[in-house]
Amino acid sequence: MLKFVSPPLPHFIACGEDTYSAGRSHVDRSGIGVFDLLFVTRGCLYLAEESLPVVIPAGGFGLLRPDRAHRTTEPCEAETHFYWIHFQTFGGWSETDDEGDRKAILSRAEGDYPVVHPFSFYLPQTGNLLAPESAHAHLRGMLALQAEMSALSYWRQQLLFQELLLQVQEDSKLPAGGSYLAIAEEAAAFLRRSYRETFTYKKMSEELHFHANYISLCMKRVYGCTPLDYLTRYRVEQAKRLLIDTNDAVGRVAENVGFGSFPHFVRCFGRLAGTTPKAFRMRFRQL
């Protein structure tokens, strides 16, 4: 499984399709410098990435790394049709497994507004699609746009590509060993939804149906912080937005983002933003 950290999102480079007759093999390559994402519509491709078998049947997909050798292990047994996509990313990416390190990058409330929220997503190197025809329709659309060679067609291709990656991720369930990742992300989503409300570990535990200590362990493993630390940083980020975009008093801003104590808000804001809320606001109000 490959982990991609965004932003930036991976970007589409080119796509195509091919049909191999029985007995034909995919070309062997090494270090091509781009990710190769293959979708088979009929037949089967028998490949390997270094020592990792990559068998892609009809309705399935395979994702090959840009920095490894790819080779054919067996020729096609029957006529095989497939689409291919080459893409790359300027963001971080790595290979992970069930017990591997999936620590995500935590967005910190440091620096000026706006805050960019990094996130990670995961793509298995092989799998079967729940709705292959939907993916194939996206691929046909990308191929049609490729012939237009215009700025607008490139933009539309990127949108179709992102939708395709989302489908691949959603159709591919995380392995059981990665359940802590799902729990951490669910906890983070709960904290973002309810950041204006009074936080208690008991309430979070009841909402997520896991013991608070286990949720904290999952968040530390994925985000490197406790749920309360995550919530505090998110509240400060929201406070930055209100300080810039509204004329609300600083005390009202603190209340609106969930801080029950004004002195506590000022201390947290100063620790994470390196300045006071008032000074932060004036930085953007000076003529």
Predicted confidence (pLDDT) per residue in 205-243, tens digit: 999 999 999 999 988 887 889 999 999 999 999 999 999
CATH of domain 229-283: 1.10.10.60
Residue 172: predicted pLDDT: 72
> Tens of pLDDT along 17-58?
999 999 999 889 998 999 999 999 999 999 999 888 999 999
Supply the DSSP string of 94-156, one letter for each residue: EE--TTS--PPPPP---SSSSPP--EEEEE-SEEE-SSHHHHHHHHHHHHHHHTT-SHHHHHH
Predicted structure pTM score? 0.72
Tell me the average pLDDT of the chain: 88
If pLDDT is split at 50, 70 and 90, which confidence band does 258 have? very high
| Token pair of 224 as six digits | 């490197």
Residue 176: predicted pLDDT: 43
Residue 247: predicted pLDDT: 93
CATH of domain 2-171: 2.60.120.280
Report the alpha-carbon distance of residue 224 to residue 233 in Å, rounded: 13
- Which amino acid is it at 137? A
Is 70 in contact with 30 (CB distance < 8 Å)?
yes
> Tens of pLDDT along 79-129?
999 999 999 999 889 887 644 444 444 444 455 555 667 777 888 889 999
pLDDT higher than 70, residue 266? yes
Residue 173: predicted pLDDT: 61
If pLDDT is split at 50, 70 and 90, which confidence band does 246 have? very high
> Tens of pLDDT along 131-178?
999 999 999 999 999 888 899 999 999 999 999 999 998 887 654 444
Where are the domains positioned within the chain?
2-171, 176-223, 229-283
Residue 113: predicted pLDDT: 53
pLDDT higher than 90, residue 284? no
Residue 118: predicted pLDDT: 74
Report the alpha-carbon distance of residue 260 to residue 254 in Å, rounded: 8
Q: At what angle are helices 179-193 and 227-245 packed, to 10 degrees?
A: 40
Distances (CA, A) of 69 to 11, 17, 139, 195: 22, 21, 25, 47
Supply the DSSP string of 175-243, one letter for each residue: PGGGHHHHHHHHHHHHHHHTTTSPP-HHHHHHHHTS-HHHHHHHHHHHHSS-HHHHHHHHHHHHHHHHH
Residue 94: predicted pLDDT: 86
